[in-house]
Amino acid sequence: MIPTPLSPERNFASVPLSLAVAVPTVRLIPVSRSEYDAFVKEQIHEFADQKVRAGHWRAEEAAELSRHAVESFLPKGGPSESHRVYRAVDESNRGVGWIWVGPPPVRLLNLPTRRWLYQITVDAHLRGKGYGRAMLAATEQLVSREGAREIYLNVFRWNLIARALYDSAGYEVVHESETETGMRKALNQEVTR
């Protein structure tokens, strides 16, 4: 039987709710020791790649320089004071990504109400599904509850996906170089959508 055509309005109204795009929610869980070690290793690798791409370091020196930079905040044995690494998990406790947050990297900029987002990474196979936005919002809520009033980050200029996320989540540009953009969000404003 050929179904009776519906008016456009009725067609729209009859779209099942299950087709609506679900907005994921995440929780941030402090990492275990083995997760911490895995994150630091990955972070050293990732930061080296990005610094070479930016033209800041030569390929042959990048691994060592990156290890030094990352381990100055995340040494073997556990993070230095006030630095935290979290595994983000979804509603069914599945790991979906990583967050690294801490005080600003330069002591001069360090205020008790200021935090720095060093890294946000969604597991590669789960990108583009809303987890990055959910993790950013969860991080803002976490540091707000601790009394933070602003959060800063740096993003490489070619990272257009991360930049689109930060722009739409209310971050403003505070500094721009040829390769990087510094951004800030005041946390007493409405948090991410």
Ligand X SMILES: CC(C)(COP(=O)(O)OP(=O)(O)OC[C@H]1O[C@@H](n2cnc3c(N)ncnc32)[C@H](O)[C@@H]1OP(=O)(O)O)[C@@H](O)C(=O)NCCC(=O)NCCS
Q: Is 152 in the site for ligand X (CB under 6 A)?
A: no
Q: Is 130 in the site for ligand X (CB under 6 A)?
A: yes
Give the interface segment with ligand X, choosing from 35-43, 72-80, 130-138, 171-179 (CB under 6 A). 130-138
What is the nearest approach in angstroms of ligand X to the Cβ of residue 3?
34
Q: Is 121 in the site for ligand X (CB under 6 A)?
A: yes
What is the nearest approach in angstroms of ligand X to the Cβ of residue 169?
8
Q: How far apart are CA 16 and CA 163, in angstroms?
A: 33
What is the nearest approach in angstroms of ligand X to the Cβ of residue 138?
12
Give the interface segment with ligand X, choosing from 1-9, 75-83, 84-92, 154-162 (CB under 6 A). 154-162
Q: How far apart are CA 179 and CA 168, in angstroms?
A: 21
Strand, helix or coil for residue 96 = strand
Q: Is 187 in the site for ligand X (CB under 6 A)?
A: no
Q: How far apart are CA 18 and CA 27, in angstroms?
A: 23
What is the nearest approach in angstroms of ligand X to the Cβ of residue 50?
9
The one-letter code for the residue type at 168 is S
**Radius of gyration of the chain from Cα atoms?**
20
Alpha helix stretches (DSSP H) within 4-130: 8-13, 33-53, 59-73
